[in-house]
Chains A and B, each alone.
Chain A
Amino acid sequence: DAEITQSPRHKITETGRQVTLACHQTWNHNNMFWYRQDLGHGLRLIHYSYGVQDTNKGEVSDGYSVSRSNTEDLPLTLESAASSQTSVYFCASSTGTFNEQFFGPGTRLTVL
């Protein structure tokens, strides 16, 4: 069955370290998204991609970067982790612009 996976599921890191969160989907979806979710906030868009070599900044992109070298993967990199980036991170994918998004299981990141 097609799915979307994230790794690691839990990560503890220190301030200033570089961290990469992996997202892999087997839906063959063109569109992929990274969100963060914090208490009291809805899902906030970090970066998104509409296809290979395409990446775009979302609402809260500062301190994060992505790259899209194939259809299946969109890794999210925190260049220099900060305590404000402690959050739950979700990756999602969709077939088209107006279509529903399907979510991975999430990564809980703690920055100490």
Chain B
Amino acid sequence: QKEVEQNSGPLSVPEGAIASLNCTYSDRVSQSFFWYRQYSGKSPELIMSIYSNGDKEDGRFTAQLNKASQYVSLLIRDSQPSDSATYLCAVESNYQLIWGAGTKLIIKP
């Protein structure tokens, strides 16, 4: 059974600080990795995708991938109260997405 693990949180971060979210996965041959944000009562929305080792930056968001360690992370710089949400890590495995249970992030004003 392929797995994706995330710390459920909640992770509390002061406004303006860097929020760091982590995800580990079990399938060594996975090729695609995604971070989704889900506000309470809403559907998941894609915020970042990453396919190769290293960092990928998009505005205040940076995704980091280390395939050797089977680890993917999401950094949110200059955290805002509107970033408070649950962040879901999804990893491609055998042509499907395997989902972590999500990390709840709370940004304190």
A104 to B94, CA, bound (A): 23
User: Shortest beta-carbon distance, A36 to chain B, in Å?
Assistant: 11
- Residue count of chain A within 8 Å CB distance of chain B: 20
Using an 8 Å CB-CB cutoff, how does the interface string of A96-112 with B read, 1 for contact, 0 for none?
01111111111000000
Verify A43–B45 contact, CB threshold 8 A.
no
Verify A98–B44 contact, CB threshold 8 A.
no
Taking chain A's interface residues, is the majority helix, strand, or loop, or is none over half, making it mixed?
Answer: loop
Verify B43–A103 contact, CB threshold 8 A.
yes
A40 to B101, CA, bound (A): 7
Contact partners of B4 in chain A: CB under 8 A:
42
Known contacts A42-B4, A97-B95; is A103 also within 8 Å of B44 by CB? Answer: yes
Verify A98–B102 contact, CB threshold 8 A.
no
Contact partners of A48 in chain B: CB under 8 A:
96
A48 to B96, CA, bound (A): 9
User: Shortest beta-carbon distance, B105 to chain A, in Å?
Assistant: 16
**B-to-A contact residues, CB < 8 Å:** 4, 31-32, 34, 42-46, 49, 51, 88, 90, 92, 95-97, 99-102
